[in-house]
């Protein structure tokens, strides 16, 4: 048992020293336009998803899932989110692809997050990804309407798409 513990400790020390050396020697490629190695991307996305799921509220959306709620959230989305996340019915955002990690293209991909998790992300942002906190600028009800809208992408009712494009928010 002592040999196992000593081997485990030695292995852990080699891992810590190796990681420290890798970082301090500048071997980590920090360019945002360089593709992520597959393993690093998987670790990054897994860490983000786990953190959001752990810290997001388990609350239910207080707004009804009506066309009016979707239109209100859609107007907020069109005025604030399309530059990075793409616009329904249009090609993906080139700008969103330059972020690290790339901004999800909700109109094409939808989201893997619940409405409560989308609300939390919109309110608090995600550090060092380009997704800023919107909580200081919008009310909780506005952010819940946005979460409702994002949660329905890419399958919005046609009248909702028409409603957000006819009457954009100011």
Q: Which residue has the tokens 């992300």?
A: 121
- Which backbone phi and psi does 148 adopt, to 5 degrees? -65, -45
CB 154 within 8 A of CB 88: yes
State pLDDT tens for residues 105-152.
Answer: 999 999 999 999 999 999 999 988 889 999 999 999 999 999 999 999
CB 120 within 8 A of CB 34: no
State pLDDT tens for residues 67-82.
Answer: 999 999 999 999 999 9
For the chain, give the percent of residues with pLDDT over 70: 98
This prediction's pTM: 0.81
Domains assigned to the chain: 56-166 (1.10.760.10)
Alpha helices in the chain (DSSP H): 2-24, 38-55, 67-80, 82-85, 106-109, 115-124, 140-152, 158-166
Which residues does residue 126 pair with via DSSP β-bridges, in sequence order? 131
State pLDDT tens for residues 20-47.
Answer: 888 899 887 877 777 778 888 888 889 9
Instruction: Locate 116 and state its tokens.
Output: 């409560």
CA distance 76 to 10: 54
């Amino acid at each position: 048992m002592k040999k196992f513990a000593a081997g485990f400790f030695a292995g852990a020390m080699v891992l810590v020293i190796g990681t420290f050396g890798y970082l301090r020697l500048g071997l980590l490629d920090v360019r945002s336009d360089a593709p992520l190695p597959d393993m690093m991307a998987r670790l990054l996305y897994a860490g983000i998803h786990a953190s959001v799921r752990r810290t997001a509220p388990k609350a239910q959306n207080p707004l009804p899932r009506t066309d009016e709620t979707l239109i209100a959230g859609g107007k907020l989305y069109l005025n604030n989110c399309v530059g990075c996340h793409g616009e329904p019915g249009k090609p993906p955002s080139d700008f969103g692809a330059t972020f690290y990690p790339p901004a999800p293209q909700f109109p094409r991909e939808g989201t893997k997050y619940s409405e409560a998790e989308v609300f939390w992300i919109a309110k608090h942002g995600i550090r060092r990804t380009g997704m800023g906190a919107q909580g200081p600028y919008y009310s909780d009800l506005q952010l819940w309407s946005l979460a409702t809208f994002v949660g329905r992408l890419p399958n919005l009712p046609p009248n909702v798409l028409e409603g957000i494009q006819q009457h954009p928010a100011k």
